[in-house]
C-alpha cells in the first residue's frame, strides 16, 4: 500500500461496529441518508485498499460496517484506523451496544441465528447467551476506542438521530455527550461517568410541574430555587472539568456523561441542559435525553401512522 494514495483527497470515514442485533443496519441507513457511501461487512483485510480506492475516485464521505463475522481479522482494525488518521483521514468510530437481555430478546423475536451460535447446541438459549458473551470479548478493543451508543432503550429513529448528530461534530476534537436517563429503565451501558441525582427535590410531586420537563421554564425556576441543585451542578461541572485534559492526553475522542433521576424527565434533563451549555463554550458538546427522545419518537411515529 502506497501511503501517498491517502494524501490527495480529504476523506471523512465512519466505522460502524458493535454487537450483533444492536442496530448497525439502522445506523448505516442514517449515514446513507446523510450522503455517505456505505459498505456493510467489509473484511478488515480490504479496509486500507478500499479507502485508498475511494480517495482515488474523489469520494469525500465513506461509512463502513464491520462485525464479528470478520472475527479472525478484527484485531487488524485498531492499527489500520491509527494509520489512516496519521495519513489525514478523518476517522470516527462508533460502537453500538445493548444489554444481553435486549439482544437475546431481539434474536428471539426475529428467529435469527447469532453468527457465533452453535446450531447443534441442545440449549439454544444458553448457546445464544454464550455467543453474545464471546462476541463482547472479541469486540472489546474496538469498543474501547470508539464512541459507544447504547441501543437497549432507544427506537430506530432515535438511533438515526444520534448517529447524524455525532457525525456532525469535528472528528479531531474531544466530544462531550451529556445524557439524561431514568434509573427505573436501567443505566445506559455507553456511559463513561454516571451521576445519580435522585436525592434532589423532585418536581414530579408538584401538581403543576408533573407533566412538564426539565426544559420548561417553570421546572427550571423550581430547581434553581433549591441550593442543593446548584451544588450538584457545580460538583459535576468541577469533576468533569478537572479530568478533561487528562482524557484528551489519553486520546479520547468521546466522553459520555450520564445524569440519572427516577423518571428521566425533570432533574436529569435540567442538569444535562445546563451542563451542555456550560461546557459548549470550550468543548464540542452533544445532548441526549433518553426518555424524552423516546417519547418524542413515539409521538412522531403515531402521527405518521395516522396521516
Q: Which residue blocks in the chain are alpha helix, DSSP H?
A: 24-33, 47-56, 77-86, 100-110, 124-138, 140-144, 156-167, 217-224, 227-249, 267-279, 290-306
66 annotated ligand binder: no
155 annotated ligand binder: no
What does each of the 307 residues of the chain score in pLDDT, given as a tens digit?
454 444 455 899 999 999 999 999 999 999 999 999 999 999 999 999 999 999 888 889 999 999 888 878 888 999 999 999 888 898 999 999 999 999 999 998 888 888 888 766 666 777 889 999 999 999 998 998 899 999 999 999 999 999 998 888 776 678 999 999 999 999 999 999 999 999 999 999 999 999 999 999 999 999 999 999 999 999 999 999 999 999 988 878 889 999 999 999 999 999 999 999 999 999 999 999 999 988 776 555 545 555 4
241 annotated ligand binder: no
Question: Which of 229, 231, 233, 234 shows the shortest CA–CA distance to 201?
Answer: 229
User: Do 94 and 15 contact (CB within 8 A), yes or no?
Assistant: yes
210 annotated ligand binder: no
268 annotated ligand binder: no
157 annotated ligand binder: no
280 annotated ligand binder: no
In total, the chain counts a number of residues equal to 307
User: Do 166 and 285 contact (CB within 8 A), yes or no?
Assistant: no
68 annotated ligand binder: yes
24 annotated ligand binder: yes
| Measured distance CA(294)–CA(82) in Å, rounded | 35
Identify the three-state secondary structure at position 116: coil
pTM > 0.75: yes
25 annotated ligand binder: yes
pLDDT digits 0-9 by tens, 2-40: 544 444 558 999 999 999 999 999 999 999 999 999 999
| Measured distance CA(97)–CA(37) in Å, rounded | 23
Cα dihedral 100, 67, 81, 175 sign: negative
Amino acid at each position: 500500500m502506497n501511503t501517498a494514495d491517502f494524501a490527495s483527497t480529504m476523506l471523512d470515514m465512519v466505522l460502524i461496529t458493535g454487537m450483533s442485533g444492536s442496530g448497525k443496519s439502522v445506523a448505516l441507513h442514517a449515514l446513507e441518508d446523510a450522503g455517505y457511501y456505505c459498505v456493510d461487512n467489509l473484511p478488515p483485510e480490504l479496509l486500507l485498499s478500499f479507502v485508498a480506492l475511494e480517495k482515488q475516485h474523489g469520494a469525500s464521505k465513506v461509512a463502513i460496517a464491520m462485525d464479528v463475522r470478520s472475527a479472525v481479522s478484527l484485531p487488524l482494525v485498531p492499527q489500520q484506523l491509527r494509520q489512516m488518521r496519521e495519513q489525514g483521514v478523518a476517522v470516527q468510530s462508533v460502537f453500538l451496544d445493548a444489554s444481553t437481555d435486549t439482544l437475546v430478546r431481539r434474536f428471539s423475536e426475529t428467529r435469527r441465528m447469532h453468527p457465533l451460535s452453535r446450531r447443534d447446541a441442545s440449549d439454544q438459549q444458553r448457546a445464544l447467551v454464550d455467543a453474545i458473551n464471546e462476541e463482547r470479548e472479541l469486540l472489546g478493543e474496538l469498543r474501547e476506542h470508539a464512541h459507544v451508543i447504547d441501543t437497549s432503550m432507544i427506537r430506530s429513529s432515535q438511533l438515526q438521530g444520534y448517529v447524524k448528530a455525532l457525525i456532525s461534530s469535528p472528528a479531531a476534537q474531544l466530544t462531550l455527550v451529556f445524557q439524561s436517563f431514568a434509573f427505573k429503565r436501567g443505566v445506559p451501558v455507553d456511559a463513561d461517568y454516571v451521576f445519580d441525582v435522585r436525592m434532589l427535590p423532585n418536581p414530579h410531586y408538584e401538581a403543576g410541574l408533573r407533566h412538564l420537563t426539565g426544559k420548561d421554564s417553570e421546572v427550571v425556576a423550581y430547581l434553581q430555587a433549591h441550593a442543593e441543585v446548584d451544588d450538584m451542578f457545580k460538583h459535576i461541572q468541577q469533576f468533569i472539568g478537572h479530568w478533561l485534559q487528562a482524557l484528551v492526553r489519553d486520546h479520547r475522542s468521546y466522553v459520555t456523561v450520564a445524569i440519572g433521576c427516577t423518571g428521566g424527565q425533570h432533574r436529569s434533563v435540567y442538569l444535562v441542559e445546563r451542563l451542555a451549555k456550560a461546557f459548549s463554550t470550550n468543548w464540542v458538546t452533544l445532548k441526549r435525553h433518553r426518555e424524552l427522545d423516546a417519547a418524542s419518537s413515539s409521538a412522531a411515529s403515531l402521527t405518521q401512522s395516522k396521516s
